[in-house]
């Protein structure tokens, strides 16, 4: 089983719908992140969390919200999805002692029509 | 100007050749530098990290860092078709030890 699990892996939805992407991890890491990946733009940070009570905005947080339900769970929500939120979304974790190693989930491909 | 820039490629090399991937960054206070490999349809995985000027070797991979010129490169010796992937450069800034800034990636194709 994957150490960082994302659900759903693929989702097609319509403009205006609320969508939640879920992430759970078994690595025991405190730090969790949500990135989106678009062709030609690389990975961009949406939100990150250092522990259950800590939530921080990344580069592109507008239109997104997150919830850290437990150390192992970090969810990303799109309250009212729009077509330019069509992207590949990755959850990642890291250990505080590491300055750059992120462990990624398998990704959630979201299409907003 | 993007903070971390990479040529999108594709960079095509024959099997057995040296593949050279380059990355430039704009923030002079950047401290840590990383190369991630991403196979098509898969998630990125860390393959190299480098923190000080010079070369760092790990098997067929060598990372090179030049902070004065603000570039970092990755050399892959004896390239194999299995090295065909997108290589993402990532930079960790001094004021954001938890946050990596990624380049858009260079696609490498190794021809058999």
Q: What is the pLDDT of residues A41-73, one digit of tens each?
A: 889 999 999 889 999 999 899 999 999 999 999
Nearest-Cα residue of chain A relative to residue B4: A42
pLDDT surpasses 70 at B1: no
Distance CA B19, CA B83 (A): 10
Q: How many CB pairs under 8 A join A and B?
A: 49
**pLDDT band at B95; cut points 50, 70, 90:** low
**pLDDT of res. B92:** 84
Instruction: Determine, for residues A45 and B49 on separate chains, whether the beta-carbon distance falls below 8 Å.
Output: no
CB count, 10 Å around CB of A30? 15
**pLDDT band at B30; cut points 50, 70, 90:** confident
**pLDDT of res. B77:** 98
Instruction: Determine, for residues A101 and B99 on separate chains, whether the beta-carbon distance falls below 8 Å.
Output: no
* Residues on A contacting B at a C-beta cutoff of 8 Å: 31, 40-45, 48, 50, 58, 90, 94, 99-102, 104-107
Using one digit for the tens of pLDDT, what is the confidence trace for A1-27? 669 999 999 999 999 999 999 999 999
**pLDDT band at B3; cut points 50, 70, 90:** confident
Of B49, B99, B105, the CB nearest to A48: B99
Q: What average pLDDT does chain B have?
A: 91
Q: Which residues of B fall within a CB distance of 8 Å from A90?
A: 43-44
């Amino acid at each position: 089983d994957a150490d960082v699990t994302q659900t759903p892996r693929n989702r097609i939805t319509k403009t205006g719908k609320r969508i939640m992407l879920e992430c759970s991890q078994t690595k025991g890491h405190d730090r969790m992140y949500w990135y989106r990946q678009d062709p030609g733009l690389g990975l961009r940070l949406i939100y990150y969390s250092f522990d259950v009570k800590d939530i921080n905005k990344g580069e592109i947080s507008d239109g997104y919200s997150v919830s850290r339900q437990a150390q192992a769970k970090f969810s990303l929500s799109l309250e009212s999805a729009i077509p330019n939120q069509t992207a590949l979304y990755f959850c990642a974790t890291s250990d505080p002692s590491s300055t750059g190693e992120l462990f990624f989930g398998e990704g959630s491909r979201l299409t907003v029509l | 100007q993007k903070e971390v820039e990479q040529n999108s490629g594709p960079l095509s090399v024959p099997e057995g050749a040296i593949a050279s991937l380059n990355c430039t960054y704009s923030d002079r206070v950047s401290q840590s530098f990383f190369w991630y490999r991403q196979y098509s349809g898969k998630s990125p995985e860390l393959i190299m990290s480098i923190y000080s000027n010079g070369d760092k070797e790990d098997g067929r991979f060598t990372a090179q860092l030049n902070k004065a010129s603000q570039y970092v490169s990755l050399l892959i010796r004896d390239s194999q078709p299995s090295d065909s992937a997108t290589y993402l450069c990532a930079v960790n800034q001094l004021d954001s030890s938890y946050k990596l800034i990624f380049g858009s990636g260079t696609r490498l194709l190794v021809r058999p």
